[in-house]
Structure 1
Amino acid sequence: MLDAIDRQILSELERDGRISNKDLAAAAGIAPSTCHARVRALLDAGVLRGFHAVIDPEAVGRGLQAIIAVRLQAAARARLAEFARRIADRPEVRDVYMLGGSEDVLVHVAVRDAPALRAFVVEHLSTRPEVAHTQTSIVFEHLHAPTTASR
C-alpha cells in the first residue's frame, strides 16, 4: 500500500524526474535519507519503473504521430505478446498497448511524414499474415495526464 508520502514522492517525480533527492525530500516533508530509502523501495517494488527523458518527436524529425489499431487473425491471437514485442522494437514505435475488445493492439508511432507512416503500416502491419485489420488515426495533439498517484 502506498501512503501519502509515497504518493507525494511519485507525484513530484512524475512532474520532474530530475528533481534532486534533497528537493524531493523537502517536497515530501521527510529527511533526504528517508526519501532515498523510499525511492529505492518504490523502485524495488516495481511501483516506480524508472526514469526517462520525454523528447519532442517533431524536434527529431518525427513530426507525424498516429495511433494504429490492429486486429490479429483469430489463429494468431495466441502469439499476441510476441507480435507486440516485435512491433515495439521498431524505431518508429513510441508505445504499444495490448487490449481486450474488438482490437488486439494499439500502436503509437512517430514518423517523418505521411509516406513514412504508409510505409510503416504496409511493411510492418497490414501485409503481415497474422494481421486481419488495421485502422490508422492521426494524432493532432498529445496531452499527458498524471497518474492516480498525483491525483
Structure 2
Amino acid sequence: MDELDTAILRHLQEDARQSNRAIAQKVGIAPSTCLERIRLLRRRGVIRGYHARVALPALNRGVQAMVSAQVRPLNREVVAAFEQSVSRLPEVLSVYTMAGSDDFLVHVTAPDIERLHAFLLERFTERREIVSFRTSIIFQHLANPVLEPLAEVNPAP
C-alpha cells in the first residue's frame, strides 16, 4: 500500500457511502484512477466489505458482556465445534479464539441483565466441554473508526 491507497482507505473508513468522485476529489486524482485503486484494494483483500454500524440498543441489545471460557479436552474437534455453535447464537457478536489461560473470548449482547444471566445459564453452564467461564459487563465500547498501516520495524542486526 502506498500513501494514495492509505488516503483512499481512510476516506472509505470515515464514510463508505461517499461517492467515488468525492473520494477522488479529496485525494486529488481522477475518478477513474480512484475507482481502479478501490477495485485493486478489494481484489487484494485489503477492503473486505462494507457494512452499516447499528446502535445495539435499537435492536433490543442494551447490555453487552465479554465471556471468557475454557474448554476441555482442548483438541481441534472441540475447538471447531465450540467456535461454530457459539458463533451462530443470536446473542453473540464475536468469538475470539485465544492463547493463554482462556481459550475463547465471546462478545455477547442481551436486552437486560436478567436475560444475559439466563443466556449464560442456558448456553454456557450446560455445555460439557466448558470447564469454566467468567463474564465481564461492558459499560462502554470505543473503537478506532479509521485504521492506517503501521510502520514496519526492521530487526536489529
Matching residue's letter, 1:89: R
Between Structure 1 and Structure 2, whose CA radius of gyration is higher? 2
When structure 1 is superposed on structure 2, of 2-11 and 22-31 the one drifting more is 22-31
Q: 5+ unaligned residues in a row in structure 1: which ranges?
A: none
* C-alpha contact 2:14 2:146 (8 A) present in aligned 1: no
Matches of 1:102 and 1:83, distance apart in 2: 17
- With over 3 angstroms needed to count, the CA separation of the structure-2 counterparts of 1:100 and 1:33, relative to structure 1, is same
- With over 3 angstroms needed to count, the CA separation of the structure-2 counterparts of 1:83 and 1:146, relative to structure 1, is same
- Structure 1 residue 141, shift from structure 2 partner: 0.6
Does the residue aligned with 1:19 lie in a helix, a strand or coil?
coil
Choose between structure 1 and 2: higher helix proportion.
1
Q: How many residues align?
A: 149
Work out whether 1:113 is the aligned partner of 2:115.
no
* C-alpha contact 1:95 1:107 (8 A) present in aligned 2: yes
CA displacement, residues 20-49 of structure 1 (integer Å, 9 cap, x when unaligned):
111111222221111111111111111111
Number of the residue aligned with 2:33? 34
Computed over aligned residues only, the root mean square deviation of the Cα atoms, in angstroms, reads: 1.7
* C-alpha contact 1:69 1:136 (8 A) present in aligned 2: yes
Number of the residue aligned with 2:44? 45
What is the TM-score of this pair, normalised by structure 1?
0.89
* C-alpha contact 1:96 1:106 (8 A) present in aligned 2: yes
Number of the residue aligned with 1:58? 57
What is the TM-score of this pair, normalised by structure 2?
0.86
- Structure 1 residue 137, shift from structure 2 partner: 0.4
* C-alpha contact 1:68 1:135 (8 A) present in aligned 2: yes
Number of the residue aligned with 1:78? 76
Work out whether 1:9 is the aligned partner of 2:14.
no
* C-alpha contact 1:8 1:150 (8 A) present in aligned 2: no
- Structure 1 residue 119, shift from structure 2 partner: 2.0
Number of the residue aligned with 1:131? 130
Moved over 4 A (4+): none
Does the residue aligned with 1:141 lie in a helix, a strand or coil?
coil
Please show how residues 84-99 of structure 1 align to structure 2 within 5 Å.
84-99=83-98
When structure 1 is superposed on structure 2, of 136-145 and 40-49 the one drifting more is 40-49
